[in-house]
Structures are given as C-alpha cells and as structure tokens.
Amino acid sequence: MRSRNDSWLCLNYFSMVSMRNSCALVMLLFASSVAIGQQPTVSMPPPAAIPAMPTATASGTTSSQADKQYRIGPGDVLDIRVFNRPQLSHESLRVENHGVIRMPFIGEIQAACQTEGELSKEITTRLLKYQRNPQVDVSVKQYNSQPVSIIGAVNAPARFQLQRRVRLLELLSLANGPSLRAGRSIQVLHAESPTSMCEETPAPSTPVDDAVAGLSSYSINDTLKGDAQSNPYVRPGDIVTIPEAEQAFIIGNVNRPGPIPLKEPVTISRAIVMAGGTAPNTDTGKVRIIRQAPGSTVKTQIIVDLKKVNKNQAEDVALLANDTIEVPTVGGVRGVFREVIRTIIPSVSQLPLRVVY
C-alpha cells in the first residue's frame, strides 16, 4: 500500500509535467505565428500603402548618389586585390590612354567609365573560369583623369582633381568665391578630356547644346543664386575663368582714391560715394572725367558740376572702362594729384626684390 505522502508526490509530479507541456505548446504556437509574420506588437501598412521606390531618373536622392560615384578614367592608378591570390593582385595598375587595363589570365578589361564596384564585379566574373568564388577589391589609388582648373578673379585660384561630379557653384565655393575684382560673367573653356568617352551627349533640344564644345559664358549673379541654367556640372578638363571687372579710376580729393569696378552701370556720383565721398575743400563744380577711346590716343574731357547733379539739374554721367575721374580741391588739382600718387602707389623700397635669370 502506498502512503498518503507518496500519492501527494505523484500528483505534484504529474501537475508539473502537465504545466511544462502546456508552456511548450504555447511557445510552439507563438513561434508559428512569428514565422508567418503575425506579430501582434508591429503594425505593418498594407502593400498598397507602401510607396513605390523611385527610379534613378525620377529620384533626386538616387541621382545625387550616382553623381558622387567616381568613374575611372585614363591615367588613374588602381589598387586591385584578389584574396589569397597575390599573383593576380596589383598595387599600382595604371589605366592606359584608351581606358583599358591588363591582368593575367583575363587580358584586357575596359576600366574607363566604370566605378570601383562595377570593375570589381567584372573582374570577379572573369576569374570564375579559374577560381571558385574569387573575392576582388578595386580602389583608385591615384586620381589623375579628371582635372579642373579655376583662375581669374577668385580668392583662391587652384587646380582640382575631381573624385565625383561637381557643379560650377560648388567649384566656385572651393576657390573661396569671387574676389572684389570679379566681373559679371564666368567663362568655362571646355578642353578635350580623356574622360570625354564617359560623357553623355545632350539631346539637340537642350539649351546647353552650344556648351558641349568651345567656350561657355554664364552670369555670375545667376550662378551664385544656383540658377540651373547657369550652374552646370563642370567636365573633366574644364578651365573656369572669372574675368576681372572693367574699371574706372578716381583720384583727387576723395577719402578712398583708387579703382572703381564697373560690375554694373556706375555714374560719377555713385563712383564718388564708392570712394568714400569727397574730402573737405573740394571744388565740386569742376570734377573732370578724362576719357580715352579704345584703340586711340585721343583723350576727351568732361566737366561735371556735382552740385547740379545732386539737384537733378545736370546729367549724372555714366562711366566707361578706363575713365579717370579727377576731384579737385579749391586750390587746384596738381597738388592733390601728387598727394594721391603718394597714397595709392607703394614705396619702391617696400616692393619684394626678384632676380630675373
């Protein structure tokens, strides 16, 4: 006969077994629901509510990512590494002028116009004939194929090697922007480039047709505003020039004598304001404009009465390039001219000495 304690132990044992089986059944059901995607704590939108992924042509993000991908070009030096195959690896493999590289077993490969990832995939595909699951890594060691220069009236003229596509405004910012001497236009000289094989020819209807070759000119104000027509992508080999503005010169009894940039139409009254205004004892009735026609040695003189100009009783003469404005004192111009010479021309002893060989 079993004791009462033995019966109690047996009852507890079967209860624990039953509870374990129930827990296992619950866990099994929960795992099944997870496996078929029925998670109660995550609310997924129906398929119709999920927006379609944008294509490369319609998505600004996708196209901007493509713009940042560097396309290999002639003259670039590549580092190609094949895992566990040092005889197939190259630390410094230069892309030839016609855009190909040469590798053992594979022969010639057209590397130009491909990204690092695209060239890596092509080499991997070709090596499958000789190796199982080859692991290939391609990186550009030296960037030599996409030079762009910016010169002229910029704060930091420089030559750049592009590693991605760059617009004209960004290139201008890399040169620290236009200087105070900058004119009103930006000129882009499109030189022949080894990477032109990668350029897509624009459709005949596009307004940049004439910019494919030769010289293109843009308004500097429109470029600085980011206007699409005046902010194109620069091409490898481009030489960007910002010409200096045409200038007039003001001398005499003004606070800041010197050149006056003619970035826009400037009249004589405005030129005097740009020069800091007139100094005391100015003879405002006898301001002279000395004008010389281009290609001629003949000079003409225009007398301007600033008092009448300010009262709208006389014409506010518009300045032309290379005009010289003399602002006299009551005592005459000659003494003022000598004072200006001492002011704006540096002392010869302060100039750096350079030897011409």
Residues 275-294 have pLDDT tens digits of 999 999 899 899 999 998 77
Do the strands 324-327 and 247-252 form a parallel or antiparallel pair, or are they unpaired? parallel
Q: Of the ranges 11-15, 34-38, 149-153, which is most confident?
A: 149-153
Give the least confident one: 13-22, 74-83, 226-235: 13-22
Q: Average pLDDT over the chain, rounded to whole?
A: 76
pTM of the predicted model, to two decimals?
Answer: 0.56
Please state, in angstroms and as integers, the Cα–Cα distance from residue 24 to each residue in 18, 28, 30, 40, 144, following that order.
10, 6, 10, 20, 66
Q: With 80 as the cut, is the pLDDT of residue 13 above it?
A: no
pLDDT in tens, 206-253: 444 444 457 888 999 999 999 999 999 998 889 999 998 888 999 989
Report pLDDT for 174.
Answer: 93
Instruction: Write the CATH number of the domain with boundaries 147-196+209-242.
Output: 3.10.560.10
Task: State the pLDDT at residue 188.
Answer: 92
Instruction: Return the pLDDT at 130.
Output: 87
Q: Are 10 and 3 in contact (CB under 8 A)?
A: no
Return the bridge partners of 259, or none. 249
Contact in structure between 260 and 286 (CB atoms under 8 Å) = no
pLDDT tens string 132-142:
899 999 999 99
**Domain residue ranges of the chain, discontinuous segments joined by +:** 68-142, 147-196+209-242, 247-346
> Domain 68-142 adopts which CATH fold?
wza like fold (3.30.1950)
Q: Does pLDDT of 34 surpass 80?
A: no
Task: Give the pLDDT confidence score for residue 199 in this predicted structure.
Answer: 61
* Cα radius of gyration rounded to whole Å, the chain: 38
Backbone angles phi, psi at 310, to 5 degrees: -65, -25
The DSSP code for 167 is B
pLDDT over threshold 90, residue 36: no
Helix (H) or strand (E) holding 300: strand 299-304
Q: Which of 193, 204, 327, 203 is nearest to 258 (CA)?
A: 327
Q: pLDDT band for position 303 (50/70/90)? A: very high
The answer to whether domain 147-196+209-242 and domain 247-346 are alike in fold is yes
| pLDDT one-digit tens code per residue, 104-127 | 888 899 999 999 999 999 999 999
Architecture of domain 247-346: Roll (3.10)
6-10, 80-84, 156-160, 268-272: range with lowest mean pLDDT: 6-10
The pLDDT of residue 194: 52
Cα(238)–Cα(216) distance, integer angstroms? 10
